[in-house]
Amino acid sequence: MNEFDQARKQMVDCQIRPADVTDRRLIAAFLNVPRHLFTPRARIASAYADAEVATGDHRTMMRPRDLAKLIHAADVQPDELVLDIACGRGYSTAILAHMAETVVGLDDDEDGVSRIGGLLAQAGADNAVAVTGDVKPGVPSQGPFDVIFVNGSVSEVPQAWFDQLAVGGRLVAIIRKGPVGKATVFTRSTAGIGERIVFDATAKLLPGFELEPRFAL
C-alpha cells in the first residue's frame, strides 16, 4: 500500500465513516477513487485532508466529509441517471459513477472538462461523461434525471434544475445564505417539490450563485 492508498483509507476511516455515512457502495467508491488524481498538482499534499481544496477560478473541491454526506443523502441507486452540476475536475463525477448507472458531469470550464475524460478513465468511471456548458440551465436534452448533485453551495436552486428532475428524483445541494450553509434534499413528486435539511456545511458558493443584495428604504 503506497502513501496515497494509506491517506485515502485514513480519510475514509477518520472523516467519512464517523460522519454517519453507512452505505457500503459509497464507502467503497471513496476507497477506490484516487482523489489525488483530481487535485491540482500544487495542492496534492492536501488531497486527503479534512478541508476544501482550491482548484482555481474561485472554485474548490468539497471537503470529503461533506461530499460523502451529501451523496449519501441523495440515496443514489445502481439503475439511476445522475447529473453532476459544476463537476469541476471530475472527482464527484467519478464517485457518483460508482453509485449510478450513468453520470453526466456539467461544468462551464472548457479546458477543465477536456481533461476530465482521461481522469475518469483512470478512476474506472467508464459510465460517466463530462460536457461543457452554462451550469444554470442544466442539461435538459439529457434528462430527466433521477438525481441532480450540486457540487458546491448556491443561494437558491434555479427552476431549470427542478424541471429536469424526474418524479421521485432527488436534488441535493448546499443552500447558503449566510456563513453556514444547509445541505438540503429536494424531492420531486406529482404534488411538487418537497425539501428537508440534513446537515450544516460551509462549502464555497459557486460563482454566479451568490445571494443578490437587497436594498431597504
46 found inside a domain: yes
CATH (domain of 127): 3.40.50.150
pLDDT in tens, 107-136: 998 888 888 989 999 999 999 999 999 999
pLDDT digits (tens, 9 = 90+) for 171-192: 999 999 888 999 999 999 999 9
Is residue 185 within 8 A of residue 73, CB to CB? The reply is: yes
At 30, is the secondary structure helix, strand, or coil?
Answer: helix
Q: What total number of domains does the chain contain?
A: 1
What mean pLDDT is predicted for residues 44-58? 90
Query: Is 25 part of any domain?
Result: yes
Range of the domain at 98: 3-201
- Cell representation of residue 142: 439529457
Cis peptide bond prior to 144, omega within 30° of 0: yes
In a domain, 10, yes or no: yes
Q: Mean pLDDT score of the chain, rounded to an integer?
A: 93
Tell me the H-state helices in 123-196: 159-163
CB–CB of 150/96 below 8 Å?
no
Q: Which residue has the higher pLDDT, 117 or 67?
A: 67
